[in-house]
Amino acid sequence: MNQRIEWALLSLRVALGLIFIVHGSQKLFSFGFAGVAGFLSSLGVPLPNVFAVIVTLVEFGGGILILLGLLTRLAAFFILINMLVAFFRVHLAHDSSYLRELNMCF
């Protein structure tokens, strides 16, 4: 593989890993599972305590795995599921401004 492509992929992996580590650590160390569960409960998410643990660990642990390049496909899969649920269940349901921005892409 071209060395530039390798550096680009490494940079992307490090950046995405750090983004998810920061967001996951905020949930883990600042809000705690109870704080995240309270937020999810206010949005009407079923089983907020269970999903608080899942969301936090997927973001924090997945970010670490992606940063280190370990189990990247598995970590990326769980992060993708997490982000899709967050987008469709939370963001899109409570803020339709995303639709206007999405229409501009086409």
pTM of the model: 0.82
In the predicted structure, residue 104 carries a pLDDT above the cut 80:
no
* pLDDT recorded at residue 44: 86
pLDDT category of residue 106 using cuts at 50, 70 and 90? low
Per-residue model confidence as pLDDT tens digits over 44-91: 889 999 999 999 999 999 999 999 999 999 999 999 999 998 888 776
Contact 21, 64 (CB under 8 A): yes
Q: Give ∠ CA 7-20-49 in degrees, rounded to 5.
A: 160
Structural contact between residues 26 and 41, judged by C-beta atoms closer than 8 angstroms = no
